[in-house]
Structure 1
Amino acid sequence: MISFEDFLLRPSKVVDPFNRFVGKIDPFLMLVEFCQVIGPKPLAIVSSQPDDKVKSVNVNEMAIWLMSSDTVPGTMIVLENNQTGVYAAAYYFNLYDMRARAFQRNLCVAYLSSEKPTKETLSLFSTSMKKLVSPVLICNRRLFIRHVTDIVKFSDNVDETTLQQYYTFNGDSQKLTDSSRFNVVFEQTRLLKSKFLTKKFQEMAFDDDICCGHNVENMHEAEDIICSFRVPSIPLSPVETLTPCSFPSIVPKLRLLLTDLHRQKTATHSSGALFCGNRPIATVSPIYKFSSEAGTSD
């Protein structure tokens, strides 16, 4: 609803009750990744429309807008796009990947709407995000530790002298580069192992913990990860492979969250006498009733 403050204190703000300058969109949820190869890209979209289609908004532009903010993983912020008139409540987190730059993949889950989210909406979104992201994070961390442990064991089994002799007898300069690159990977992996294998991390658990634990050794996968560092541009794994136990449940949980947000918005919707796109733009003074000793009057 337009307030008197919009006219006096914010003259630069677009006052557009009839949506002549900016579009009215149906609220939707979007999962976005900041890919180090192609940049921000949407991974999943959940809306109330058939086939999760979103009208009057470019989801690729929204993905770039969401991932352009300087944020810290585990935080939620509210954004406003002045050009499109879209508000977003965005929750940021990261997943660990041995093949990624700095071993991290940045992601975001955002709730986008034409109306600024209320305190009730933000509270519900924040609480739901923590419940949704927690099992995803714990599954990803356990799998990452599995990879780190296997790579460290693989490096321990490799005789450094034999490795140097192999690359010395073979005159391929590319393989000499591979040898030094492998040594860097082994050194960084050992540092990661000491960082993650702590008692506090191993005791992490959540109510909605559906992770298998990733306790089975997989030296073949560890060897594939090491060999992937031979190419200058390391191919990234699909996001769903970084948290295989929890990723399939993300979209169904987002659908439930969108339903809860819509129900909460309907329950707390402002009353009005004139509406535009379900937005009250004018109200009437309430009629109060009072009683007296002589009787009841309006």
Structure 2
Amino acid sequence: MSFIELDTERCVQCELCVKACPVGALGLGESGPEVVLEGVCNKCGHCVAVCPKDALNNRYASLISQKHIDTYPVLDAETAEIFLRSRRSIRYYKKRAASREQLLQLVNIARFAPTASNSQSVSYYIVEDRSVLDELAELVVEWMKMQIATGEYHHSFPVHIDAWKNGKDTIFRGAPHLVVAAAPKELKNRRDNTVFSLAYLELYAGSVGLGSCWAGLFEMFASANDEYVSKRIGIKPGLMLTGAVMVGVPVERYLKLVNRDPLDVTWVD
């Protein structure tokens, strides 16, 4: 059974679906597109999305599951630039928790991020209880102390240890929640996929009244204590932690767009 279904009355044989297929699974036959390579479809749905007549259906990425848009890109260039440059790492949060609806909105948008060969496979674990983060933060601090004793540690470790001694959390920055991503251990691009997905989450956070920041210190600790962290968070067997982002309602509101170093570009002829 072919993985595509064709409405021959609608199809105008424009060949757009054939050209859009990234793996060359489709070819143009007498009646329209047909499968020329079985078993290689990566379920991206490009063939369905590009068809101007809604003549094609793919059982791996059905027509009915793809939302129609009238214009592309949806944002004009200026609006898109402002949106992207307005994203900032938030390190100061209100104590009140975000709603489950807000948190679900974040991880739901994250799953639409691009992944290598459309492999997807990123799972999300949301820590809701702040006491769990306090427990984990203390473990991170104790681990940093041990790293210092070995002589192999990041230069910032003493600063974070001193902050913790003085009652200040610089591990999770007082955030009420932590979003942890996990992916199959055997997946080659698990970290790349995670970075894209959590970048989507961060960009979207402001739209639902939240802020976020990568939990880099916790990631370092988790990398060295994978078995313990996976068990504490409840990560399913076969998966490993691939990223973590703290999330909460920001205290401050930034009034300026992000600036960076001057553009470094080289034209190659």
Between Structure 1 and Structure 2, the one with more helix by share is 1
* TM-score (norm: length of structure 2): 0.23
Asked which structure has the greater CA Rg, the reply is 1
* TM-score (norm: length of structure 1): 0.21
Work out which structure has the larger RCO, using CA pairs closer than 8 Å and 6 or more positions apart in sequence. 2
